[in-house]
Each structure stands twice: as C-alpha cells, then as structure tokens.
Amino acid sequence: MCGIAGIFAHRDAAPVVERAELRRIRDHMTARGPDGTGEWYAADGRLGLAHRRLAIIDLSERGAQPMASADGGLVVTFNGEIYNYRALRRELEARGQIFQSDSDTEVLLHLYAERGEAMVGALRGMFAFALWDARRRALLLARDPYGIKPLYYASDGRTLRFASQVKALRIGGAISSESDPAGEVGFYLFGSVPEPYTFYRDIRTLPAGCTLWVDEVGPGEPKPYCSIAREFGRAALEPARLDAEALQARVREALLDSVRHHVVADVPVGVFLSAGVDSGALLGLMRDAGQTEIQTVTLAFAEFRGQPDDEAPLAERVAARYDARHVTRVVEEAEFRADLPLILDAMDQPSIDGINTWFVSKAAREQGLKVAMSGLGGDELFGGYPSFRDIPRWVRWLGPPARVPGLGRALRRLGCSLLAPYAPRLTPKALSLLEYGGDYPGAYLLRRGLFMPWELPELLGAERAREGLRQLRPLRHIGAALEPDPGTPFGRVAALEAALYLRNQLLRDADWAGMAHSLEIRTPLVDAEVLRRLAPALAMTRGSCGKILLGRSPSQPLPAEIVDRPKTGFQTPVRDWLERLSAPGAAAGGREHWARRWARRVGREAWGTDG
C-alpha cells in the first residue's frame, strides 16, 4: 500500500514539471508510505511520477517504485495489491516474460506490454495506478472495480496532476482552493462526497472500475470496464437456483478462495474483530486457509461496558474459538478529544464516519501490524442492511400516490408549515416520504440521506444550494448506480449500497483512517470475483438468510449468539462525546440526530462551510 502522485505537462505551452511541487505532493502522503520514496522523470522533463512505499510484498529494493520495464518504455507508479499476481506471473513467464523482482508491481508492466489497457480485466485486487507508455506518449490511469483505492486528478488544460489524496494535490500549490457546490451538497445529503466530485471544483475522482487516458491533448473521458449493476443484471437473467446445501457450498468456496488471495503478504496479516458476522466469518476462514498466529483487535469503550453495544466480550469469545491472539483496546473520551484535530486533519474529504476505523487502525498499528482484514462489504453483498427490506417496500407502497404530479412536495410543504410545530418527532425524512419514496433513487435518498434537499438552503445559502443541486442532480446521480437495471429488488439495493454508501463512505474512510496509521486494510468481501461467483446465487435472496450463509461459511461455523445477534455495527459513543463538546450549531435540546450535528461540525471546522 502506498501513495502515488504525478505531474504531466501534456501541452507544449505548459512549463516542465516543477520537481519541488511533485515532492511536496508526494511527501504530504508520508503516512501512506513510510518505508521508502521514489521519483522518475521523463528525459524532456514533461512528466514526473512519484511514490511513497509501505512495503507489503517483496520488501527488497527490487520492489521500489516508480518501476520501469527493462527497455524503459513503460513506467508505473502503483498503490494497492494485486492478489492474483502469482498466477498472472506464471502465465507471463510461460510466454517468455522475464522478471527482475518478486513484486506484484512488475506484473502490471509485463501484463500491459501484452494486453494494453485490457489488462485491467485480469487484475484481482485493490488498485490505483498510473502507467506511462513512452511509445504512445500517453499516461494510463486506472482504478479497481469497487473503488477501494482512491485516485484524484486535476487538469488546467495544459498540465494534469494526480495523487492518492485530495489534500496532497492541494499542498502542491498549483490548484485552486475554490470549493465545489456539488461536493458540498453531496456531503450534506449523504454524509460523504459522492464521486466523481470532491470538495474542490478543480479536483475530480477517477470513478471506480474505470480507466482514463491522458495524451498530448489532455485527459479523455473515464472509460468503465466493470459495473456492479451489470453483474447483478446478468445474475437476474441467469439465476443459480441451488438447494440449501449447494448454496452454502458455493458461498464457502467463493469466500475461502477470496481469503486465500487476500492473505498473500510478506508481513503478518491481522483482523479487525467485532462481535458481528462479517469479521468473525473472515477470522474462521483465515484459519481454514491455513493461517496461524493471527492477531485480532477489538475496540471497547467504558461507556458501553455491560450494554448491548459492547463488542468486547463476544469478540473475545470468537477470537478464542479460532485460537487467535487477541487484544481489546479501550478508548476513552479524553483520547477522542486529543485525537479529534488529528482525525479532521487526516480526513481527506469530509465524512461523518471513520472514527471507529481511526481508532481500530491505531490499535492494530500499536500491535506492530501493517496489514489488517476488515469485514467491510458483507452487508452490501449478503443483504445485511434494513435497506434491503425497507426500500423495496417503500417503492411498492408509495409508488402509485408518488406518481401524482406535485402531491409529495405539496404534502411536505403543508407538513412543514402546519404539523412540525406540533410534532417534534416528525423528522425531515418523514415529511419527505411521499415526495421521494416512490422509486428506488428517491427511496435510497430517504434511507441513506443525512439532510433532505429542501433543507440545504438553510445550511449552505440559497444560491450555493441551488447550484450544487443543479450540478449533482441527486436522484439522477443515485439512479446511475442502477444502470443497467440489476433486475431484482435485492440486486437493486445491493448495487446502490455498494456503488454509493460502501464506495463513497466506508471504503474511503477505511483508506484515509487506515493510511493515517500506515496500515493497509484488506476487504475480502469486497472483491469483483466474489461478486461474479455469488451474484447468481444471491440475486433472488430474501430476508437475512445471506448473513446466515456467511456465518456458516467457515468449517467451524460462528456460534448462534453471533449469527442471531441484532446488527449493531462497530460503534463508538461519539454521540455522547459530541454532546459534551457542546458544538456550536447543535439543535436546541439535542433533538437533532447526532450524525447531522457531526456533519455540521466537520463541514464547519475542517472545510469552512456554513453548515
């Protein structure tokens, strides 16, 4: 895991690369790669590639980056892990390719030499890379199918800059600080900034599952090569109707295969262990994959002791069940207060989440780990969220009345003016139910939304909110995650959750919070090959049976007290901590949901919005 950066002066009128700027960008990402630095410049000075290294595979200097091909015609700077690199290497060597290192990075160079841009379809892993093709005089940017690893770029029409962090690009000094209304609106709607937007007008995210060419003309349009919605759509056309035994066997086979790929490393691989099904199943599967001496880490909070939210006792029993070396790390409110400025500084884009990942990553690093497994993605793949039940139900019930033009908006306005003063529990979402609940994009906004669109003028000002909504077009943005149609209610919700909440919030938070502690977080349940293998079997799933399948996937299944436990997630008592901080702008009497108050604080203190 690493930090990558580059500057490409693609127009003749552009000045050559300023090396000091590139180094500022690179070295702002020191925590992403404390084990080494590297830079490479084209002979004409018009391209510079840089790298910060967190050594995980091939710890020798032969794995250093940027890495060039033997003839110097290809150069790559790469962030991530290619989990099937050994199989790809064997295929390449069988066709006469000669390797100089044991790294997965070198596989990218040889694979591109054979297949060109199409090589991304063969990669299994989490990745963001930039590969220079001297013959074409063009730069290829690419990002993994789920968007586990970030890649940001900015173009002024003459020079393109890219990096693993938004704040690193900004620290270079050549990019405007002007904020993007679409990014601001997206943050307050969803609690995270939806790609391809960022909080800055001139910086964009390369969308997940896309490649992008930059040549002498400049950057082209991102080209998708993988779609979560398309995989579920294919599954709906050809569902795998298996009996219970065959279905369980397929789930186990796919997940065990993913875990075997994800444990490949030249350093120990630990586990973030909660009291939930996802992380417990991963731990059991790691044992099945032959891993021993596994280090597990669980967070605990004094405020939760003896309450259902306390993860520690059950997590400790799961660790003992699979014979793991376990540590329970207690976080106190004083540590939260001390770390809060560091959290906001490390937060590359504003988010209402990530605090839990910050502290568990900190705890893992204290145990000497550089790599840890996370159960992220289990709820999106196996239908573990209430959204899998609620959204189809809302669409079914509210669809007919919602189609009456203007009815939902009229009722919401009437409710705001007449009912709200007498019904403090009538939330903005309740007032918006008929306005948005009649189709999948609107129902998803209701389910995952933080603020409703009509609340934004009060947060951002009327003009700023109007411009941001015009650019983002939230319902169309959500609807794009359903193109092509995933075909079933389960597939539609799974595609929405994976392409929006998982991608823009959970995975991005895991990246910045983990990398702030020089920790690589791996997610075996977020894997395009697992999706392809299981979507035909899961597309017709109803209820919560998917999580039962996950819990039973290890050869020694998780106990019923874990599988049957109501979902709580990896919680922190941040709500109470925030209230005691007495943040300005909090709703009187504390009636406003803590996540909305936290969003106001993050937006105001870290990014200077009016929220």
Give the Cα separation of 118 and 36 in Å (integer). 30
- Give the closest residue to 513 by CA, choosing from 104, 37, 84, 192: 192
The set of long-range contacts for 308-314, using a CB threshold of 8 Å and a minimum separation of 24, is 308/566, 308/568, 309/568, 309/571, 309/573, 311/274, 311/275, 311/568, 311/570, 311/571, 312/275, 313/275, 314/275, 314/561, 314/562, 314/565
Is 346 in a helix, a strand, or coil?
helix
Is the backbone of residue 206 left (phi > 0), alpha (psi -120 to 50) or beta?
Answer: beta
- Give the closest residue to 594 by CA, choosing from 579, 609, 610: 579
| HEC readout, 49-97 | EEEEECCCCCCCHHHCCCEECCCCCEEEEEEEEECCHHHHHHHHHHCCC
- Give the closest residue to 572 by CA, choosing from 318, 372, 304: 304
What is the dihedral sign for C-alpha 113, 119, 122, 123? positive
Instruction: Spell out the residues 6+ positions from residue 136 whose beta carbon is closer than 8 angstroms to its own.
Output: 215
| Cα Rg of the chain (Å, integer) | 24
- Give the closest residue to 163 by CA, choosing from 132, 203, 126: 203
Question: Could you tell me which residues are beta bridge partners of residue 34?
Answer: 53
Catalytic hit among 2, 210, 226, 545: 2
Q: What string of DSSP letters covers 587-602?
A: PGGG-S-HHHHHHHHH
Contact call for residues 289 and 253 (beta carbons, < 8 A): no
Q: What angle do CA 213, 82, 515 make, to 5 degrees?
A: 90
Contact call for residues 272 and 371 (beta carbons, < 8 A): no
- Give the closest residue to 276 by CA, choosing from 365, 359, 361, 377: 377
The DSSP secondary-structure symbol of 179 reads B
Question: Does the active-site annotation cover 2?
Answer: yes
Which residue carries 């959500």 as its tokens? 478
The set of long-range contacts for 112-119, using a CB threshold of 8 Å and a minimum separation of 24, is 112/74, 112/76, 112/140, 113/69, 113/74, 117/211, 117/213
Active site residues: 2
